[in-house]
Chain A
Amino acid sequence: MNQTMKSFWAGVRAESPLLVGVFPFGLIYGALALGAGLSPAAAQMMSSIVFAGSSQFVAAQLIHDSAPGLVIVLTIAVVNMRHMLYSASVAPYIEHLPTRWKALLAYLLTDEAYAATIIHYEEDGFTPTSHWFFLGAGLALWTTWQVSSALGIFLGAAIPASWPLDFAAPLTFIAMVVPVLKDKPVVAAALSAGTVALLAYSLPFKLGLILAALVGIFIGTYLESRKSQKGAL
């Protein structure tokens, strides 16, 4: 096997433990998207057009709540903002590649592909074929996400409508938020965002959600900058 293929399969292998965790999410996403009122085709296409798990859960929740399209688009964008950090982080390693390669790898730049790839770059250093590692990790995740979404859509159609399947979305978000509540600024960001979301719930176009998120982000950032200033004194 040549070096290119070796790197590719090393990427697939490095990604595989993460796939075990991703697969059930794809299943839940597929079932949830159907329950929220998306057609099977739209639910499946979202997995390849948007291709970002947590934002797809958010989209399903907002479609279920009949939020306006623009608010859904903005919320997905806010949820996916962290990808800019990943983009900045991998940029120096793939700087030499042609734009087509850069665009392909950017499309595949999910949380999980980033995690496996950045560890590879940092531990094994840069090699002439390491973009094939990135591609292997990214494609392994992409394939798993498409297949598990499809299976979820297929199974979701068989789940009785009386089951509160839509509750899977907030539960997933709880599972994502609670473990990161490790310091005061993050707790304050979460609590203030939650409180504002309740107080501003009646604002039109679900704008309360955007307002709540902005307040939470502002309070967290503000408290952290105050803390680091104190630490510097």
Chain B
Amino acid sequence: MNIWLVMLLAGALTFGMRFSFIYLFGRFEIPATVKRALRFVPPAVLSAIIAPALFMPNNTLDLSWGNYRLMAGVVAILVAWRTKNTLLTILAGMIALLALQVIFH
């Protein structure tokens, strides 16, 4: 699919969701189960993207010490856990990966 078509469809869907209940106000209530499920959407989707990016950098499972992305990811997870600071987390992970690449190449 063309990238512009992807963006237009995704943009239309995103707008539709933002507009949904503003438009439907008074005519429809969100079911309680859906409300409860929405809280789990970001951690589930993002973890499903994080795991392959760390464990399968070359499309196959790599649990060795040579998997620098996994090592740098662990550093980022620890920094995120300790500081809850987004930019610090990105910086720490990036510096860890660059350092590992420079040292071992």
Please list the residues of chain A having a beta carbon within 8 angstroms of any beta carbon in chain B.
21, 24-25, 28, 38, 42, 45-46, 49-52, 54-55, 58-59, 61, 63, 68-70, 72-73, 75-88, 90-92, 94-95, 99, 102-103, 105-107, 109, 163-164, 167-181, 185-186, 189-198, 201, 208-209, 212-217, 220-221, 224-225
CA distance A196 to B45 in the complex (A): 11
CA distance A91 to B8 in the complex (A): 25
Interface residues of B, count at CB 8 A: 68
Chain A residues within 8 Å of B19, by CB: 87, 102-103, 106-107
Which 4 A-B residue pairs are closest in the complex by CB-CB distance? A69-B1, A216-B44, A220-B40, A194-B51
Kindly identify which residue among B37, B80, B87 contacts A221, using a CB–CB cutoff of 8 Å: B37
Contacts A168-B94, A225-B36; A180 near B42 (Cβ below 8 A) = yes
CA distance A84 to B41 in the complex (A): 12
Chain B residues within 8 Å of A195, by CB: 51
What's the minimum C-beta distance from A226 to chain B, rounded to whole angstroms?
12
Please list the residues of chain B having a beta carbon within 8 angstroms of any beta carbon in chain A.
1-11, 13-15, 17-26, 30, 33, 35-56, 59, 61, 69, 72-73, 76-77, 80-81, 84-87, 89-90, 93-94, 97-98, 101
What's the minimum C-beta distance from A12 to chain B, rounded to whole angstroms?
20
B20–A169 CB distance below 8 A = no
- The binding surface of chain B is classed by DSSP as helix
Chain B residues within 8 Å of A224, by CB: 36
- The binding surface of chain A is classed by DSSP as helix
What's the minimum C-beta distance from A24 to chain B, rounded to whole angstroms?
6
Contacts A59-B10, A87-B18, A102-B22; A193 near B43 (Cβ below 8 A) = yes
